[in-house]
Amino acid sequence: MPHHKSCKKRMRTSAEANVRNRAYRSNLRSLIRQVRSTKDPAEAQEKLRKVTSMLDSLTQKGLVHKNFAANNKSKLSRKVNKLSA
């Protein structure tokens, strides 16, 4: 247990951030799964746009690594492009 006031506050803010970050990651995984399971090209394109945007914002926040984001965007866009062709 922390003894300093600032350490107590840090524990609280860390716990809040942890909950928030888990929610972001869970939402991201769900969106990625939805893009992969979609068969309609137009719907897949729209979901891909959402995933791309979310990956970019989470990368800026430091929640996911930039290479993770780049790899996922690349793989998902290839999959969506195959549906269109």
Residues in Cβ contact with 55 at an 8 Å cutoff, skipping those fewer than 6 apart: 28, 64, 69, 72, 73
The residue range of the domain holding 66 is 5-84
Burial (CB count within 10 angstroms: exposed 0-12, middle 13-18, buried 19+), residue 26 = exposed
Number of separate domains in the chain:
1
pTM score, whole prediction: 0.86
pLDDT tens for each residue of 46-59: 999 999 999 999 99
Read off the CATH number of the domain in which 55 is found: 1.20.58.110
Which of 1-10, 13-22, 23-32, 71-80 shows the lowest mean pLDDT across its residues?
1-10
- What is the predicted pLDDT for the residue at 65? 97
Confidence grade of residue 84 (pLDDT, cut at 50, 70, 90): confident
